[in-house]
Amino acid sequence: MSENKAFATDLSHIRSRIHEKQEDYRRYSFSKLQDDILKIFFDLTQEYDSLEDFYRICVTVPGLCLDLKVRLYLFDRERRQMKLVCDSMNGLAAVRQPVFEPVRPNFDPYRAGNSFYFPVLKKNCSSEEKAKGGYHCLSGLLEVLDNDGQLSEEDQLFFTKYAGRIAFRLHNRVIARQNIDHLKFINNLVRDIEHNVIIPNMYFRYLFNQLRKKIRDLGELKETVLVMKEHLNLEGEECQEVLSRISKLHQDLLEYHEEVQKHHANLSLFLESLFRKDHFSKGRLVLRPKKCLVEKAIIGPQLEHYARRFQGRKIEIVRPNDMRDEEIPLMVDIGLLAQVYANLFSNAVKYTADVVGFSGRIKKKMAYGRHYMPDAFGPGIDGVKFNVFTTGPHLSDEDGAKIFSEGYRAAGSSSQSGSGHGLNFIKHVIEIHGGRVGYESTHEGNNFYFILPLSETDD
């Protein structure tokens, strides 16, 4: 019912605007030739795509039809100067040199010498904005040379309206070109990332293997020294100190190697999943789903990645007892879903806080888990709800309702770094998997969750 009402309101507004336009054109009383100029301008701007051809059309159509000299200037906002772009006699200006009096920025038509100047104003530029003296509304000027003094008030009104049509089309053309340039830049950037980041990133695997060999060589050297010590009956403190240092160095290198290798594997997974060509060519995130065990392939590695940070904040990690044993395979994009958990664990590190539990003891913990939800997406379409729970003060009702919105940050988050993008990213990734996200408060804290559908291919 509300949709029909909204539609009726919109339709009545459009009908009202049609009547207003009819009245406007009756009041303008443009001649047939002037009407033809507007139609030709409209048709040709549809026919020619380039911005340069658009400039030529702006001056040539009225110039040829009315046998007038017409020039188009664009306003350089940084320097607050007008620059000649095109005129009806010589075409495009080879170099856009600044022009000076009598050509000047102005919001109203004016006459100087033998020329009239009509402002090319952006759409919906209010009188209040003009009164402020800012020139962000001004795109340029249209100059019409009137050597014979033949431009009547009706002609001046026509060129005022014609300049308005130029402004509207110019804005659309500039935005379209900016979008095209932006897309070209993104596509080139993706190729650069692939060539200069992702492919060279593979070289780290070779370096890790070489480092592993050196660590193994060090281990063999330790064994050799032990044999030498035994054969040569070297029992001195210096010999024992050398062995201890070698052993400690060997153990440290093994741990650092393992840590760096895991970090590199995680970063490589994120790079691959975020900088796929398909994302940029299609203008949206494109899934590469694989059947996997979520706990083993996704949650476990991400939790291990954040384990030291939880430990540093003295946050207890509560792992589910049944999840790994009873886990079923799901068809998900491993790289993107890994980033979902990375964001959830990162937030948990930041916002988990002490609470007094049911027992009266202080708790500071993060827990994760999952449970089945029959008919979660309709009759016969079951789902799995994945949870990340943290102790701490509850979000307000307003924060809880908006927390997954782009750029939104809860009231108590100002002390922590962040952009408000992480939870919105989670929402986007889960929704393209066909799922949904949510937040709920519990007695001891906050639970962030997402629900993924179970399809036949998941069994």
Instruction: For residues 206 and 331, state if they share a domain.
Output: no
The structure tokens listed for 219 are 């281990």
The boundaries of the domain holding residue 57 are: 31-179
- Same structural domain for residues 267 and 358? no
Q: Do residues 379 and 271 both lie within one domain? A: no
Domain boundary among 227, 242, 275: 275
Integer Cα distance of 20 and 38 in angstroms: 19
Q: Are residues 343 and 411 in the same domain?
A: yes
Any domain includes 196: no
Q: How far apart are CA 54 and CA 267, in angstroms?
A: 47
Its pTM stands at: 0.60
Q: Answer yes or no: do 255 and 349 share one domain.
A: no
9 and 91: one domain? no
Please report, for residues 6, 48, 174, 322, the alpha-carbon distance to residue 170 in angstroms, rounded to integers and kept in the order given: 32, 13, 6, 63
Structural domain includes residue 20: yes
> Average pLDDT of 176-202?
74
Asked if residue 285 belongs to a domain, the reply is no
Is the pLDDT score of 5 beyond 50?
A: no
d(CA 438, CA 450) in angstroms, rounded, equals 6
End-of-domain residue from the set 275, 308, 323: 275
Mean pLDDT of the chain: 85
**Sign of the torsion formed by the C-alpha atoms of 295, 300, 302 and 303:** positive
Domain assignment of residue 13, yes or no: yes
Residues 56 and 104 in one domain: yes
Q: What is the pLDDT of residues 421-433, one digit of tens each?
A: 889 999 999 999 9
Write out the two tokens for 312: 């540093």
HSE on the CB side for 73, CA within 13 Å? 28
Residue 3: which pLDDT band, with cuts at 50, 70 and 90?
Answer: very low
Answer positive or negative: Cα dihedral of 326, 331, 333, 335. positive
- Give the CATH number for residue 61: 3.30.450.40
449 beta partners: 387, 438
Q: From residue 64, give the alpha-carbon distance in Å to each of 56, 81, 88, 98, 108.
A: 11, 28, 8, 26, 25
Same domain, 314 and 433: yes
Question: Do 99 and 6 share a structural domain?
Answer: no
Give domain status of residue 76, yes or no: yes
In this structure, is residue 208 part of a structural domain?
yes
- Give the chain's end-to-end CA distance (angstroms, integer): 41
d(C-alpha 281, C-alpha 59), whole Å: 37
Average pLDDT over residues 367-388: 92
428-446 mean pLDDT: 94
In eight-state DSSP terms, residue 360 is S
Are 408 and 314 part of one and the same domain?
A: yes
| Inside any domain, residue 281 | no
Give yes or no: residues 173 and 240 share one domain. Answer: no
pLDDT tens, residue by residue, 273-309: 888 888 887 878 899 999 999 998 999 999 998 998 9
Tell me: do 312 and 444 sit in the same domain: yes
Domain end marker among 275, 303, 324? 275
Residue 1: pLDDT band (50, 70, 90) is very low
Q: How many domains are contained in the chain?
A: 4
271 confidence band (pLDDT: 50, 70, 90): confident
Domain membership of residue 55 (yes or no) is: yes
